[in-house]
Amino acid sequence: MDNYIFQGKDIVKKFGNYIALDNVNISVPKGSIFGLLGPNGAGKTTLMRIINQITAPDSGTLIFDGSKLERKHISKIGYLPEERGLYKKMKVGEQVLYLAQLKGMSYIDALNKSKYWFEKLNIINWWDKKIESLSKGMAQKIQFIVTVVHEPILLIFDEPFSGFDPINASIIRQEILELSKKGTTIIFSTHRMESVEEICNHIALINNSKTILQGSIQNIKEKYTKNDYEIMVKKGDLKNNESFTVKNKEKNKYLISIHQEEKYKSILSNILQENEIVAFNKKYPTVEEIFINAVKNE
């Protein structure tokens, strides 16, 4: 129980006749970087809003850090919504202080922490500028600070990298990884599978208002693997035979599908008799492939 920062059981949320979440179960392990995946309209945003207590579910249990999710917990959660923005006419520093205090920080704490983050991201000279005078990417940095300034133990990012240029995106990614190392649990939803692959260690896949897949990336990949191996040989020519099929060929790099998993040793020795193997490794499906497969099979 205590290994999870957030657990939702049988969450149901309806808007009129529309069912946004249909008995969704989700467990977010402490300290994990948790990717929340799913096509548009699957219910990801609704789920994130429920964790943030912006909306309440019609039924279901919500456990935060071992106890029932309550109003007081919002100071321990940081949320970067997909639809984000700041007061355009307000000065940057004032705005960060205001939003930090709304999260329950004292003025002094808020001031110290904001200054810390402004210095860390090297933007202390923006303190007295108005948001409307900043570029979109600059505003996103401020938005990031607003999300993390109150030192939450759970951070929720909805599409965190949209709107960032590659340089700033990598700065933010570094900050997220650093926070994760310090023990903050991070949930983030994104469509960009390569970033999931890069930084997530757990994922949940939501489709049509239901969770259809969840667990650690490694376990899920094991589950979805199809006895595909990548093999690189010195001289050419591997042909289909009774023990494997060649799926793809690129120069001397082959993708083969072994019919019976346990026979790979004998296959290898067979090949070795006539050829020299440079590389041989199991080919796991990418998250993207799993995602597309799982959604199709629904």
Partner 1 sequence: MNKIWLIIKREYLVRVRKKSFLVMTILGPLLLASIMIIPTYLANQNQEKRIIAISYENSDITNQLIDSEYINFSFVPKLEAENLKTDFFDSKFYALLECNNDTFFLTSNQQISINVKSEIESQLAKILEHHKLKEAGIDLKVLENAKTTIKLSTKIINEKGMSSNSKTEIIMGIGFVSGVLVYMFIFMYGTMVMRGVIEEKTNRVIEVIISSVKPFQLMIGKIFGVALVGLTQFILWIILTIIISSLAEVLFLNNNFNSDLNAQQSSVILSEISNINQYLNLEAIFFSFLFYFIVGYLMYSALFSSIGSAVDAEADTQQFILPITIPLIISFILIQPIMENPDGPLAFWMSMIPFTSPIIMMVRIPFGVNSWEIICSMIILIFSFIFFTWIASKIYRVGILMYGKKATFKDLYKWINYKE
* Residue ranges in contact with partner 1 by CB under 8 A: 15-16, 49, 52-56, 58, 74, 77, 79, 81, 83-90, 98-99, 101-104, 143, 146
Decide: 214 and 204 in contact? Cβ < 8 Å: yes
Is the Cβ of residue 81 or residue 285 nearer to partner 1 in the bound state? 81
- Give bridge partners of residue 257 from the DSSP assignment: 228, 245
Is the Cβ of residue 74 or residue 203 nearer to partner 1 in the bound state? 74
Q: Which amino acid, residue 224?
A: Y
- Going by C-alpha positions, the residue among 57, 14, 13, 24 that lies closest to residue 212 is 24
Structure tokens at 57: 């579910």
- Residues 6 or more apart in contact with residue 24 via CB below 8 angstroms: 8, 10, 11, 12, 43, 47, 60, 206, 209, 210, 211
Residue-wise burial string across 75-107, b where 16 or more C-beta atoms lie within 10 A, e elsewhere = ebbbbbbeebebeeeebbbebbbebbeebebee
Work out how close the CB of 113 gets to partner 1 at its nearest, in angstroms, rounded to a whole number: 15
- Residues 6 or more apart in contact with residue 181 via CB below 8 angstroms: none
Is the Cβ of residue 83 or residue 262 nearer to partner 1 in the bound state? 83
What residue spans of the chain are helical by DSSP H? 44-51, 92-102, 107-120, 136-148, 166-181, 193-199, 217-224, 264-274, 287-297
| Helix, strand counts (H, E) of the chain | 9, 14
C-alpha 38, offset from chain centre: 11
Side-by-side strand order, sheet with 33-37:
77-80, 154-158, 185-189, 33-37, 202-207, 210-216
For the CA atoms of 86, 92, 96, 97, what is the dihedral angle to 10 degrees?
-130
